Amino acid sequence: EPEVTQTPSHQVTQMGQEVILRCVPISNHLYFYWYRQILGQKVEFLVSFYNNEISEKSEIFDDQFSVERPDGSNFTLKIRSTKLEDSAMYFCASVGSSDEQYFGPGTRLTVT
Amino acid sequence: GESVGLHLPTLSVQEGDNSIINCAYSNSASDYFIWYKQESGKGPQFIIDIRSNMDKRQGQRVTVLLNKTVKHLSLQIAATQPGDSAVYFCAENNNYGQNFVFGPGTRLSVLP
C-alpha cells in the first residue's frame, strides 16, 4: 500500500537555527498539507499546497515558515529561525482523487 | 471562532463491547467530517468520513453518525478489539478539503 514518508523522524536543533522537514507524498497525489501537533495537544493545520503554490495557510504559518516542492516527489517545510515553541510533531499529508488524507509518520522537532 | 471538541477525553471499554466516541462541532457551515485514529508514535490514520448530505455512513466495524441539528458527530466501533486502542480525532472542513479543524481527541482504552 502506498504511504507518505517523512524524514528525519527526529530533529533536534538550537533556537534560531533553520530546519527543513522533508516529506515524500504518495506519487499520484495532488494536494499536500503540513500539520503540527504540540505534545498533548490537538493537530493543527499549517498549510495546504496545490499546483505548486500555497492554497491556504493558518495563522501559525507566519513569515518564518515556507514550503516548497523542489522536484516531482519531495515536499518540504522550512522554518527559518526556530523558536522554542516550534517544538512539536510535524505531519505531512497528501490527498489524491478521493478526499482521504494520508498522513506520514511525522517528524518530531525539538528546539533547545 | 469555530471549534471542534470532544465530550469525553478518555473512554475505557471491555474487549468485544461496542464503543461510541462523540464529537461536537460549532461551525454550522462545515460540510465534511473525518474520523482519524492515532496510535502512539504514529501519524493520524483515516478511518471514515461523512458529508453533510448524509446522516450515517458505515465502514468495516465502524459507523459514523452525523446530527446536523445539534451539530454532533459520533464514531461507533463494533466489537472493540485491543488493536482499536488509540486516540481518536474528529475533524471538520467547510472549504472542500483545505483547512481541516481537528478536535482535541479521545483516548480509547480496550480492557481485556
Instruction: Give tens-digit pLDDT for B22-73.
Output: 999 878 888 899 999 999 888 899 999 999 999 999 999 999 999 999 999 9
pLDDT at B4: 52
Pairwise CB contact (< 8 Å): B100 & A105: no
Q: Which residue has the higher pLDDT, A87 or B104?
A: A87
Q: Does A96 touch chain B (CB under 8 A)?
A: no
pLDDT at B49: 93
**What distance in Å separates the CA atoms of residue B93 and residue A59, rounded to the nearest whole number?**
17
CA B71 to chain centre: 13
Contact B100, B93 (CB under 8 A): yes
Could you read off the pLDDT of A26-58 as tens digits, one per residue? 988 989 999 999 987 889 999 999 988 999 999
Contact A7, A22 (CB under 8 A): yes
Q: Which residues of A touch B47 (CB under 8 A)?
A: none
